[in-house]
Chains A and B, each alone.
Chain A
Amino acid sequence: MMSNEALFTYTLRLADDLLILSHRLGEWCGHGPVLEEDIALTNRALDHIGEARNLLTYAGELEGKGRTEDALAYLRNERQFVNTKLVEQPNGDYAHTICRSFLYDAYHLPLAEAMLKSSDAQLAAIAGKAVKEAQYHLRHSSDWLIRFGDGTEESHQRAQAALNDLWTFTGDLFAQDEVHQAMVKAGVAPDLSKIKAAFDATVDKVLSEATLKRPADGFMASGGRQGKHGEQLGFILAEMQYLQRAYPGATW
């Protein structure tokens, strides 16, 4: 018997990835390399925040303690966030931002596709909307990674450096702990080794076209799903949550 608590935690994991990534992408708004791309990035941030809101609202319902999307986003502490470390990484240069999104998209799309068949009807419905968005995201980030890899010498170096920096965070995406195993058993979530296979295929194809080298699977950072984050997450939350914390109970 699957516990509601496990389903709650799993839903939060899906939500927190999107919430934190949309926050990072929002930091670019007004500072993009060219107006058209500024607008494109904001579209991504909006897609992510939209999906995150659906998931957080659902998580609140599963928990049954009356917590809203905002209560979950703004009133949880660092250790209660269960996003992967990949999405909390700072924006860096544009190559880092694109690379971070690419690695996430290469995981998110096959995950969303698999979630269409989830035994949980609500998660399947949310995935139904996400799939189309994720297809576009992956195309956008792949196109840019290819442009950088196969662009100028400088852009190639920047893209390779970003890939090397971020690769260590990809392990976290596919970690299957007890919560995840319970989800697989209940037919809610896919076995992540299958998602990993799709991820690998996408990464290999895009990197080859981008003439970039896939980093070796060395040490992999982990712990995000257990709330063990890097220091950056605290700063994200300090900024994101400040008004809700400064004016407890207020309506906005």
Chain B
Amino acid sequence: MSDNPNNWPLWEVFIQSKRGLDHKHVGSLHAADAQMAIENARDVYTRRQEGQSIWVVPAEAISASQPDDAAMLFDPADDKTYRHPTFYTMPEGAKYI
């Protein structure tokens, strides 16, 4: 990344499109501070009524899993189908379950 101290840091933007839904990552932008990041996000990412709430997070505060670790992290969940309700056979005729 850049060494120039006058460059604005990068922020990740999350927009909630409707009350009750989750905030979804929509992209990123630059801003000098959090307030400006929110205002910029409003101008850049909600011009077409896309949102009703905005979160901004400094990009450098986000830690990500390593792509190389994906197999180790996620594959072990593959064979644990008993965690899903469809795994279970319900007796014929049972209701509300």
> Do A and B truly interact?
yes
Q: Which residues of B contact A39 (CB under 8 A)?
A: 40, 43-44
Bound complex: CA A37 to CA B44 (Å): 9
Q: Mark B1-43, 1 if CB is under 8 A from A, else 0.
A: 0000000100000000000000000000111100110011001
Asked whether, in the complex, the Cβ of A36 is within 8 Å of the Cβ of B32, the reply is no
Asked whether, in the complex, the Cβ of B30 is within 8 Å of the Cβ of A43, the reply is no
Asked whether, in the complex, the Cβ of B43 is within 8 Å of the Cβ of A43, the reply is yes
The smallest C-beta distance from B91 to any residue of chain A, in angstroms, reads 58
A156-206 interface (Cβ within 8 A of B): none
Q: Mark A25-45, 1 if CB is under 8 A from B, else 0.
A: 000000000101101100100
Asked whether, in the complex, the Cβ of A40 is within 8 Å of the Cβ of B40, the reply is yes
Q: Which residues of A contact B29 (CB under 8 A)?
A: 36
The smallest C-beta distance from B68 to any residue of chain A, in angstroms, reads 34
Does residue A67 face the partner (Cβ distance < 8 Å to B)? no
Given contacts A34-B8, A40-B40, contact A147 B32 (CB under 8 A): yes
Which residues of A does B touch, CB under 8 Å? 34, 36-37, 39-40, 43, 139-140, 143, 147
Of the four ranges (under 10, 10 to 19, 20 to 34, 35 or more), the interface on chain B belongs to 10 to 19
Can you pick out 5 interface pairs between chain A and chain B where the beta carbons lie within 8 Å of each other? A36-B30, A39-B43, A39-B44, A43-B43, A147-B32
Asked whether, in the complex, the Cβ of A43 is within 8 Å of the Cβ of B47, the reply is yes
Which residues of B does A touch, CB under 8 Å? 8, 29-32, 35-36, 39-40, 43-44, 47
Q: Which residues of B contact A147 (CB under 8 A)?
A: 32
The smallest C-beta distance from A48 to any residue of chain B, in angstroms, reads 15
The smallest C-beta distance from B10 to any residue of chain A, in angstroms, reads 11
Asked whether, in the complex, the Cβ of A36 is within 8 Å of the Cβ of B35, the reply is no
Bound complex: CA A43 to CA B48 (Å): 12
Q: Which residues of A contact B35 (CB under 8 A)?
A: 143
Q: Which residues of B contact A37 (CB under 8 A)?
A: 40
